[in-house]
Structure 1
């Protein structure tokens, strides 16, 4: 087994000061994950607030001389194999591209969502390709047992051929990027052909620097004929689905994290005579994701949380917002380069009210 060194960009404040939507101390979760990997040692960190970087270094026994405010200076000095980027979303593109251009790290693992515009998402992936860097995004739910078991059951044919995948969650972008990514996974990583969506946005919800709709309803179609449906919102849109994922097959139905049910997963088909339920022990999915990052770096195989897969999910999300703006179906590939939800707010077409207003 190869040994790797790792570093973190954007340590943020220590976990006792978590403010959801502003700082979730994800760097500390990455640090804990690296500590748990026998093939990886965390050796450096950087944050524009030096006190934050020093606190992180104290937590993870990083040498004082490997603590920096300038991330590029840190990369050149420490020369890590893998670097995690755990900063607010609007900074992701600049940092991923800047880190790739140093040609120091062999792998960059960035927090999700990818970036706050579609153009920047593509620029990040292109920069990684141009500089031969393995770029992944922290869609760690692919490594959680309920979704892995759902994959196994689907591949074993317990619900027949997949016809439709549904998702319900808080929003399309921040939380929803996980769920759309998994929709694509269940559909066999197919390209979406078109997206049709509508959103409701009256109460300002800015998460890690980016607007998120209050409620959304979206449908799309994959190249293989499978359809996707998403309904989002707190106590509203998500309740329409009643679980995080529902897979409709030709011979049955499978649900992941169903609401108000003592189960992490359940399915029924023509032979089951009712619901078959499953419960699983919780796992540290971020550690599994980073282990996969290192394993992929060693083997040269494409990671399942690759930039290519993240682009596919993010395109559906941005296309849904663009559909709401244009009031029509969006054919893919997506031509709009920006972020339609933010642009509608900036133009005054949507006027969400913040708590201080």
Structure 2
């Protein structure tokens, strides 16, 4: 079987990304689909005409397959899989429209899920109800930098996992990757509670969504494993992207260092687990996973259900800051606590310095 692929939100040229506004992820998705013999890129839509035309030229899409309106594209192209790479506040509407159209069998959306907890829940609910495969691009799961530590855990190299520490810049934008990886290390165990505090004194909007300047979060999985995350620019935090404490040793993951992952068993020195891996290379295997799970009818590793668990920790951390107390899960709100605190004046971030 050959799958027809369409894109919503191509973004500008990938050679000139504007970090925080456009990372040209559609190009990275498309490169993964293009490498597969069972995928055919047939259509793309972007509200900026020159963007979609440049994308079409790069991926050999006919003029008839270029659109400014994604709903028109769905009707005309009838794709099997839709990849979405638009600003975060638009994710929910576009995903829900794709699901409601009854056209695609699968929707693969950039992370994070949405800007409100209610929207994130609704996306997962409707995909499940309509039996549409919905995934979010937590592609780092497929990089050896993070995959090898998982293998080491599964082989009992450091004994039983007791605590996962996360160091990241922000909870929603970058932290969605790192909390997702923490869940992977914790074998996707349910989270019982979350407690957190954030500081937001300078406005920091990435891809259309607010992000705290600094934060500290703790959570507990149902099996008793602990999670801790620190966020902030210019702050040391936990000092690594991930630190996995087991009963018999520790693993550290820092993708920009050498080695990128290392292990120390009790009473021994550090040993390299991973070195010299190109982190950008995780996108093609993530796209492979989307297609192969659709073909085989199995739940993807970065399914909407799993992404929802990650998103719940993020919004629960902000809700804990709003309540000034621990939040028991499931999370029973619909809004975005960080945005709500900004809108109410409880948080008053100064406008970002444009210079």
TM over 0.5: yes
SS at match of 2:237: helix
User: Is residue 2:321 matched to residue 1:329?
Assistant: no
Alignment of 1:266-281 (within 5 A): 266-270=262-266, 273-278=268-273, 279-281=275-277
* Structure 2 counterpart of 1:117: 116
SS at match of 1:21: coil
Equivalences, count: 352
Q: Structure 2 CA distance, aligned partners of 1:248 and 1:20?
A: 33
Query: Against the structure 1 CA distance between its residues 258 and 75, is the aligned structure 2 distance closer, same or farther, given a 3 Å change threshold?
Result: closer
Contact 1:37 1:287 in 2 (8 A): no
* Structure 1 counterpart of 2:258: 262
Contact 1:145 1:280 in 2 (8 A): no
SS at match of 1:351: coil
- 1:5 is displaced (CA, Å) by 1.6
Q: Structure 1 CA distance, aligned partners of 2:88 and 2:138?
A: 14
SS at match of 2:311: helix
Alignment of 1:93-242 (within 5 A): 93-236=92-235, 239-242=236-239
Which range is displaced more, 97-106 or 68-77?
68-77
State the TM-score, normalized to the length of structure 2: 0.96
SS at match of 2:302: coil
* Structure 2 counterpart of 1:244: 241
- 1:132 is displaced (CA, Å) by 1.6
Measured against aligned partners, the alpha-carbon deviations of 1:207-241 in whole angstroms (never above 9, x if no partner) come to 011100010000000101001000011121xx221
Which range is displaced more, 47-56 or 103-112?
47-56
Which range is displaced more, 123-132 or 82-91?
123-132
SS at match of 1:151: helix
Measured against aligned partners, the alpha-carbon deviations of 1:184-209 in whole angstroms (never above 9, x if no partner) come to 11111111111000001111100011
Unaligned runs of 5+ in 2: none
Contact 1:163 1:248 in 2 (8 A): yes
Measured against aligned partners, the alpha-carbon deviations of 1:165-200 in whole angstroms (never above 9, x if no partner) come to 010011111000000011111111111111000001
Q: Structure 1 CA distance, aligned partners of 2:211 and 2:325?
A: 20
* Structure 1 counterpart of 2:316: 319
State the TM-score, normalized to the length of structure 1: 0.96
Contact 2:92 2:123 in 1 (8 A): yes
- 1:308 is displaced (CA, Å) by 0.5
Contact 2:258 2:276 in 1 (8 A): no
SS at match of 2:269: coil
* Structure 1 counterpart of 2:288: 291
Q: Structure 1 CA distance, aligned partners of 2:37 and 2:115?
A: 34
Q: Structure 1 CA distance, aligned partners of 2:233 and 2:78?
A: 43
Measured against aligned partners, the alpha-carbon deviations of 1:4-27 in whole angstroms (never above 9, x if no partner) come to 121100112222442111111111
* Structure 2 counterpart of 1:340: 337
Contact 2:145 2:255 in 1 (8 A): no
Q: Structure 1 CA distance, aligned partners of 2:170 and 2:44?
A: 31
* Structure 2 counterpart of 1:45: 44
Which range is displaced more, 35-44 or 174-183?
35-44
Measured against aligned partners, the alpha-carbon deviations of 1:87-139 in whole angstroms (never above 9, x if no partner) come to 00000000000001111111000000000000000111112112221000000
* Structure 2 counterpart of 1:19: 18
Unaligned runs of 5+ in 1: none
